[in-house]
């Protein structure tokens, strides 16, 4: 059996198109353009890239995008004040605080400061609480979990009555996706790092959602033939490069592979260490340079060492596609749905203000 591929890029494009059309109607009928405010604290490159793509998506769909950028030295009070000001701004219908926040900030307090009516990420305790209660409706549902459900529904996978297993119980993915499946009348089992015999539990699943952050963890013999498998995981797996050499870290004694910057183009690579041609010594990223290199200094030919990586999910795609009935790829599965659902939530935020 070869699984039917669930094309997240295609389904996300459909959701975005529908949201864009709804935004155009809202503007024509009520003169209202949905506005999304992003709050970015610090210089984390991945966070900057995520915020950038959310702002771009807003513009593409005719929404207003408001970017608030704070330095990584911003205080708790400063960040909370920005959130409070956005709560009061009628142009803003959704507030997204980009996570992770710098360590000195209290994430829980900042997320709780976002007004319930503008909580497009769906992480406000009241929204999560309503999601977890029978007969209650949250104003917003967290975007990645909502995206998982949308992928199942639009692929024709029956949820009511199905046995669903969710790997992972995080506040961001595992827990809310479990609640959403329960709301849709699946029988749900939630697994975590202390669960015993995961393969046996997973084999019971008609719907298996993997959200653990462990590359290729779910193998073919974990999957019931014909099951729908949604792979939320995004992990970096090293890929061999012809120029890779083995180095020994002069500081920690550990061996590591890498190649010099000029031996590969940019793209998907990560800095793993440095090498000094003058001393013929290498050291891992995060380790201090050996003493001799500190004396001779960077001018003597320190170069950065890199390794190539590719993105893989929590599911061993090649194995599982032979057993599953439906399967999402990584990348191109759940990932594109997250922003599409955020746009949908922002549109709904604007809609709430006229109803
Ligand atoms: P967290 O690290 O917050 O949670 C991971 C969960 O997996 C925890 O509940 C943990 O259990 C469980 N877990 C970890 N190791 C094991 C194991 N060996 N066996 C069983 N359970 C295990 O991660 P997130 O939920 O934030 O993210 C999960 C994955 O999804 C990551 O790869 C992340 O990058 C990706 N992701 C993708 C998104 C997308 O848009 N596609 C959005 C958000 C996340 P315990 O609670 O016991 O510690």
Q: What is the pLDDT of residues 283-325, one digit of tens each?
A: 999 998 888 776 666 667 788 999 999 999 999 999 999 999 9
Interval between CA 26 and ligand 1 midpoint (Å): 37
Confidence at residue 63, expressed as pLDDT on a 0 to 100 scale: 97
Which of the residues 98, 118, 224, 244 is marked catalytic?
Answer: 98
The string of pLDDT tens digits covering residues 88-135 is: 999 999 999 999 999 999 999 999 999 999 999 999 989 999 999 999
Q: What is the pLDDT of residue 150?
A: 98
The mean pLDDT value of the chain amounts to 94
Closest approach atom of ligand 1 to CA 147: 40
Q: Hunting for tokens 């809202």 — which residue is that?
A: 26
Domain annotation for the chain: domains and CATH numbers: 28-128+337-352 (3.40.50.10860), 237-310 (no CATH)
CA 102 – ligand 1 centroid, Å: 20
Q: For residue 302, what pLDDT is reported? A: 82
**pLDDT score at 310:** 92
- For 20-50, write each residue's pLDDT tens digit: 999 999 999 999 999 999 999 999 988 999 9
Is there an atom of ligand 1 within 6 Å of 176 CB? no
Strand order in the sheet with 94-97: 64-70, 35-41, 94-97
pLDDT in tens, 45-85: 889 999 999 999 999 999 999 999 999 999 999 999 999 99
Give me the pLDDT at residue 299, please.
Answer: 62
Q: How confident is the model at residue 179 (pLDDT cuts 50, 70, 90)?
A: very high
Judge whether 121 counts as a catalytic residue.
yes
Nearest alpha carbon, ligand 1 atom 31? 213
- Neighbour-count burial for 214-249, b at 16+ CB within 10 Å, e otherwise: ebbbbeeebbbeebbbbbbbbbeeeeebeebeebeb
Q: Can you give the pLDDT at residue 29?
A: 96
**Nearest protein Cα to ligand 1, atom 6:** 168
Residue 208 near residue 202 (C-beta atoms within 8 A) = yes
Q: What is the pLDDT of residue 320?
A: 98
Span 144-150, average pLDDT = 98
CA dihedral 24, 29, 32, 38 (to 10 degrees): -30
Q: Determine phi and psi for 113, rounding to 5 degrees.
A: -75, -20
Q: Which of 52, 57, 67, 41 is nearest to 347 (CA)?
A: 57
For helices 8-30 and 335-352, the axis angle rounded to 10 degrees is 20
Which pLDDT score is estimated for 298?
60
Question: What percentage of the chain carries pLDDT values higher than 90?
Answer: 89
The pLDDT of residue 297: 64
- Asked whether 193 and 150 are in contact (CB, 8 A), the reply is no
194 CB under 6 A from ligand 1? yes
How many CB atoms within 10 Å of residue 39?
Answer: 22
> With a 6 A CB cut-off, is 177 part of the ligand 1 pocket?
no
Nearest by Cα to 64 from 26, 33, 89, 25: 33
pLDDT-derived band at 278 (thresholds 50, 70, 90) equals confident
Percent over 70 (pLDDT), the chain: 97
């Amino acid at each position: 059996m070869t699984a039917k591929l669930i094309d997240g890029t295609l389904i996300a494009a459909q959701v975005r198109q529908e949201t864009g059309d709804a935004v155009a109607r809202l503007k024509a009928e009520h003169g209202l353009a949905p506005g999304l405010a992003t709050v970015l604290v610090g210089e984390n490159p991945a966070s900057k890239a995520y915020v950038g793509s959310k702002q771009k998506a807003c513009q593409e769909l005719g929404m207003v995008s408001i970017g608030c950028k704070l330095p990584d030295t911003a205080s708790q009070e400063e960040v909370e004040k920005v959130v409070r000001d956005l709560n009061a701004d009628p142009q803003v219908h959704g507030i997204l605080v980009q996570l992770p926040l710098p360590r000195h900030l209290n994430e829980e307090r900042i997320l709780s400061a976002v007004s319930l009516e503008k909580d497009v990420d769906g992480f406000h305790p009241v929204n999560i609480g309503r999601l977890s209660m029978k007969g209650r409706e949250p104003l917003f549902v967290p975007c990645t979990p909502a995206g998982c459900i949308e992928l199942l529904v639009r692929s024709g996978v029956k949820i009511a009555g199905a046995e669903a297993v969710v790997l992972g119980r995080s506040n961001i993915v595992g827990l809310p996706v479990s609640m959403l499946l329960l709301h849709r009348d699946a029988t749900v089992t939630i697994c975590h790092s202390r669960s015993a015999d995961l393969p046996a539990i997973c084999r019971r699943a008609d719907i298996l959602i993997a959200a653990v952050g462990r590359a290729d963890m779910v193998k073919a013999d974990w999957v019931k033939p014909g099951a729908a498998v949604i792979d939320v995981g995004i992990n970096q797996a090293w890929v061999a490069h012809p120029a890779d050499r083995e180095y020994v870290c002069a500081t920690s004694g550990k061996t590591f592979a890498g190649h010099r910057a000029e031996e590969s183009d940019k793209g998907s690579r990560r800095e793993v260490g440095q090498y000094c041609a003058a001393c013929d010594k290498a050291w891992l990223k995060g380790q201090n340079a050996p003493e001799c290199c500190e004396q001779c200094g960077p001018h003597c030919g320190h170069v950065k060492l890199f390794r190539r990586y590719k993105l893989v999910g929590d599911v061993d795609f090649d194995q599982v596609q032979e057993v599953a009935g439906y399967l999402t790829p990584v990348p191109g599965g759940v990932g594109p749905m997250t922003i599409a659902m955020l746009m949908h939530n922002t549109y709904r935020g604007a809609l709430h203000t006229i109803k």
